[in-house]
Amino acid sequence: MSKSIRAILKKNKKFTVNGSIWIECNGERFFGPGPVQLLDLISDTGSINKAAKQMKMSYKKAWEIISSLNAEARQPFVVTQAGGNSGGGSVITDEAIAVIVWYKELRERFTALLEKETGKLNS
């Protein structure tokens, strides 16, 4: 039987189990905190350009993320609308919203795991 982790670590120290979670596709990051924030901002602003600016990200980088999301999903996550008198814009799809909701719930479960394991380290 292995030693308890608390028997190995110094007393009177605060340890934290930490991490980030994302989804990969073919070994490449596909969906995580950055794409979620970008999609949320596109939803709020109706604009890829405005969303990218709020994230201090180049428009080109935002488009690369959106292109990747759209390429790997059965239905696009972002749909653009050509300009005109009202100037066009972009919207996120119901599929994007569903994946965002699922991912945020996954993060809640992941955070709960991190907190539980941190508690074990410090008890």
Domain CATH code at residue 57:
1.10.10.10
For residue 101, being part of any structural domain is answered with yes
Structural domain total, the chain? 1
For residue 2, being part of any structural domain is answered with no
The pLDDT assigned to 47 comes to 93
The pLDDT assigned to 94 comes to 96
For residue 110, being part of any structural domain is answered with yes
Residue (of 14, 12, 61, 13) closest to 35 by Cα position: 61
For residue 22, being part of any structural domain is answered with no
Give the integer Cα–Cα distance in Å for 53 and 94.
24
For residue 61, being part of any structural domain is answered with yes
In the chain, helix, strand, coil percent, each to 5? 55, 10, 35
For residue 102, being part of any structural domain is answered with yes
Give the integer Cα–Cα distance in Å for 59 and 48.
7
Residues 78-111 as b or e (16 or more Cβ within 10 Å = b) = beeeeeeeeeebbebbeebeebbeebeeebeeee
What percent of the chain stands above pLDDT 70? 93
Q: What is the mean pLDDT of residues 22-27?
A: 92
What are 86-112's pLDDT values in tens digits? 667 899 999 999 999 999 999 999 999
For residue 16, being part of any structural domain is answered with no
Residue 106's domain comprises: 29-121
